[in-house]
Amino acid sequence: MYLGLMFGLQFYLEGLHRTKLVAIFTGLGIVLAVLLVLLTPSLPLTIQRALAFLPLQIDQQVQQTADQSLEWRLEMWRAVLPQVPQYLLVGKGYAVSSLDFNLLTETMRPFAPLPASSKNQFFAIAGAYHNGPLSVVMTFGLWGVITWVWFLAAGFWVLYRNYRYGIRRCKKQTCFVCGFCFAHRLFPHDIGQIDMDVTMFGGWLALALP
């Protein structure tokens, strides 16, 4: 899905949608979509797991794992959302307080499976919310949100200017970087976790500079 979106954006940015290639790739896309529906039960489990969000016939165990993963994230977000007003002006940061650490260790028993609620608490205390907006506002507060939005807007403005007025012989490389960055924002890995996004987006933005 992510690679398809990146390919489509690059296809458009290079102007190939004005050529006969658009008809060829549209036909190939329809054929592949039909084959995907028919062959989904025979695909490797990892690929079925990536397609679990679609209404396709996949392995029951894979579907159950995907549903549990989604519910785990939703449960953590429901638990963290009421804390947002507390850290709206002054973010929590990445430090782990002694109170949080003691509270977490009390719920863990040596050599025993970790309950789902404790897992959520562990990730929440570590700042791994698996959610872009929450990872920004909880960690840095409202001022961090403003800074992050400004950084994204400035970065895309640089990409746009480079795409329109950049070095002509580097046009294809520029289209690839623009397609990658736009696809990453529209379909972010792990729903935009900032500790992953800031390094990736900043690195690709630096690569796009002439």
| Amino acid 112: pLDDT | 38
Instruction: Give me the tens of pLDDT residue by residue for the chain, a chain 210 residues long.
Output: 677 788 888 888 888 888 888 899 899 989 988 888 888 888 888 888 888 878 888 888 888 888 888 887 788 788 788 888 888 888 887 776 655 555 555 444 443 344 444 445 555 555 567 777 888 888 888 998 899 889 888 888 988 888 888 888 878 888 888 888 887 777 655 555 666 677 778 888 887 776
Calculate Rg over the CA atoms of the chain.
21
Q: For residue 187, what pLDDT is reported?
A: 64
Angle value at C-alpha 128, between 126 and 133, nearest 5 degrees: 125
- Per the CB < 8 A criterion, the answer to whether 41 and 57 are in contact is yes
pLDDT computed for residue 30 by the predictor: 92
Exposure class string for 138-160: b at 16+ Cβ within 10 A, else e: bbbbeebbeebeeebeebbeebe
What pLDDT score was predicted for residue 131? 77
Distance CA 34, CA 102 (A): 54
Tokens of 103: 């509270």
For position 180, what pLDDT does the model report? 82
pLDDT of residue 80: 80
Helix (H, G, I), strand (E, B) or coil at 3: helix
Rounded Cα gap, residues 82 and 80, in angstroms: 6
Question: In this structure, which amino acid lies at residue 18?
Answer: R
